[in-house]
Structure 1
């Protein structure tokens, strides 16, 4: 296979579509490469030698790949692009599976770096790392300040009963991958259910908001929020709880879970919560519940990966250690609820 022709992307077919739909955009033959690091949907950069764009499509051979997923991602960034929320400019949505074998969309390429580990942040130094993480909070406040109806997203989700549905959804996910005893996970799930908080007014929720899902550009400012596949209308504090969870240092040598929380200068979780509360005006008194829910959700995701590993369905290295992490996440979830 040609290096200019990664799996799932046919540059010639893509160019033919772009020439028809956006004449004059592409000035020469396209080459493409897969961007590593995505969790599910595939991301490619494509270039004509002068300009660069980004293509997003579902995983190869994914039986549940529907136009719906790509349409949702394209819809949310299209709605947010005219606002102050930093997202790439969308260029084209293609739901014709004849072109690349699945629905996809094309957006502008945005300069910036996704920081996935404390080691990658180290060259920035403590002060710049602190500024980058605080800007992560400020950008989240900006996202949650967008009026969904004003940008055409009033029907983007079902906010009523959002937390209850989320909890049931992840409980079902857990049941689907149970093949060993996990001390405390049922207690964590049940306690979350008993203490369900009352949600504030709904907002656009990213669903996987953390440092390595944004690009940091010049001046350590956030140039784009990426990976909108989990986005919906719902409880904004679920985004905050996840951000807090990822900001708690985990001393797990050799862990395949990316964490930036141990980087010098990384603000403590309490400071992130206080900053969010001050800038958003929201009541964050139930943040312990949302953080514990994030620990539970990640425990379920990791257990699912471990389950597939035991069935021989994972590809690549590091999966043998995933199972050992699950009890750590359960313990953190229970402790967070007790302290909250």
Structure 2
């Protein structure tokens, strides 16, 4: 483990025993795979098993790695129809382990990294799992944000306009070299921004298969994970982001998409079937400007990948594969430009 991510177990144990009811040490820590943005650890203690998510050490971009926002939204959703892990404590004192962190329950389930669900031997089970993901997405977008205390969790106005400004800015701040496709894509998105239709809901920001924990014995999501990018925004952002990921080829970083795979042979719905099912659940007739939402999703993911690459170059990335992520920025932009052409 790199020194910038090291944790003093004794100091952490003493802090948690003072601030979390029933917590008892000693503890051992094990870092989970993934979690490039916010390092995540399994905490095995005398009192049970927990999960700790922390900000990375080093210089951080403003508004990035917002584990305090993660804690807030998880706590707000504890009694909702959205499956989330129970949170116990947020520590904003960086002297404890070197950065802000929060502690939550450990959910004993299964996380799947391949969108083809190759580990599942039943088409019926795969179909049910995709239906369950769709159900969770609709449940998330149906949350009464006023009722759960999240009415101020995001800004008012055109969500995609704000997001385009944000991710363009973050991309420029982390840019390691000029990439023509990213410049073209950024300009196209700016020129083709849809009018605001007034839809606002709680959005996850990174809604995808490997951010969901399923029960081991049935096609049920028991916890939606990694809420760092959640905010109030437009529901199509989450839907397009998930569909975008499924359009990607297998073996592209931690994301294993379905490009060139016959979905029907696996019991997995087509993109149109998945979108139609979501629209049915949400009472939406049809989605206009679908090409824009997909292209924006590619751009946003490319900007996120560029940020990971920048942190890796500075020695602050939390995942050993982070150095490779920068190579995906240009291919992602190229895929977005293909979407723009196809969806015209």
Tell me the secondary structure at the aligned position of residue 247 of structure 1.
helix
Q: CA deviation at 1:163?
A: 1.1
Give runs of aligned pairs for residues 272-311 of structure 1, distance below 5 A. 272-282=274-284, 283-304=286-307
Q: Which residue is equivalent to 1:226?
A: 225
Q: Please tell me the root mean square deviation across aligned C-alpha atoms, in Å.
A: 3.1
Q: CA deviation at 1:304?
A: 5.0
Question: Please, what TM-score do these two structures have when normalized by structure 2?
Answer: 0.85
In 2: Cα distance, 1:61 partner to 1:180 partner: 22
Kept in 2: contact 1:67–1:95 (CA 8 A)? no
Q: How does 1:1-340 map to 2 (within 5 A)?
A: 7-23=5-21, 25-49=22-46, 51-63=48-60, 69-118=66-115, 121-178=118-175, 180=177, 182-197=179-194, 198-217=196-215, 218-250=217-249, 255-261=252-258, 262=261, 264-282=266-284, 283-304=286-307, 316=320, 319=323, 322-323=326-327, 325-340=328-343
Aligned length: 333
* Distance in 2, Cα, partners of 1:212 & 1:95: 28
Give the superposition deviation at 1:339: 3.2
In the alignment, the residues of structure 2 paired with residue 67 and residue 338 of structure 1 have an alpha-carbon distance, to the nearest angstrom, of 32
Cα 1:319–1:49 shift into 2, 3 Å: same
Residues 109 and 65 from structure 1, CA distance in 2 versus in 1: closer, same or farther, beyond 3 angstroms?
Answer: farther
Could you report, residue by residue, the CA deviation over 1:284-332 in whole angstroms, capped at 9, with x for unpaired residues? 2232211111112223334555677789987845845853x44432232
**Does the aligned pair in 1 maintain the 2:189–2:292 contact within 8 Å?**
yes
Deviation at 1:213, TM superposition (A): 0.7
CA distance in 2, matches of 1:321, 1:15: 34
The higher-RCO structure (CA 8 Å, 6+ apart) is 2
Change (3 A) 1:68 1:154: farther
Q: Where does structure 2 lack aligned partners over 5 or more consecutive residues?
A: none
User: Are the aligned partners of 1:55 and 1:105 in contact in 2 as well (CA < 8 Å)?
Assistant: yes
Q: 1:320 to 1:40 in 2, by over 3 A?
A: closer
Contact 1:66 1:103 in 2 (8 A): no
Q: Deviations over 1:233-263 (max 9, x none)?
A: 1111111110110111426xx5324214357
Instruction: Kindly provide the CA deviation profile for residues 66-113 of structure 1, in whole angstroms up to 9, marking residues without a partner as x.
Output: 999232111100001111110111111122223222221111111212
**Alpha carbons 1:77, 1:89 under 8 Å: kept:** yes
Aligned mates of 2:68, 2:302 — CA distance in 1: 29
Offset at residue 48 of structure 1 (A): 2.3
* Cα distance, 1:42 vs structure 2: 1.3
Is contact 1:295-1:329 (8 Å) kept? yes
Q: Aligned with 1:301: secondary structure?
A: helix
CA distance in 1, matches of 2:246, 2:47: 39
Compared with structure 1, are the counterparts of its residues 170 and 47 closer, same or farther at alpha carbon in structure 2 (3 Å cutoff)? same
Q: In the aligned structure 2, how far is the partner of 1:78 from the partner of 1:196?
A: 34
Compute the TM-score of the two structures, normalised by the length of structure 1.
0.85
Bigger CA drift: 89-98 or 234-243? 89-98
Q: Distance in 2 between matches of 1:268 and 1:133?
A: 11
* Worse overlay, 75-84 or 158-167: 158-167
8 Å contact 1:114–1:214 — kept in the other structure?
Answer: yes
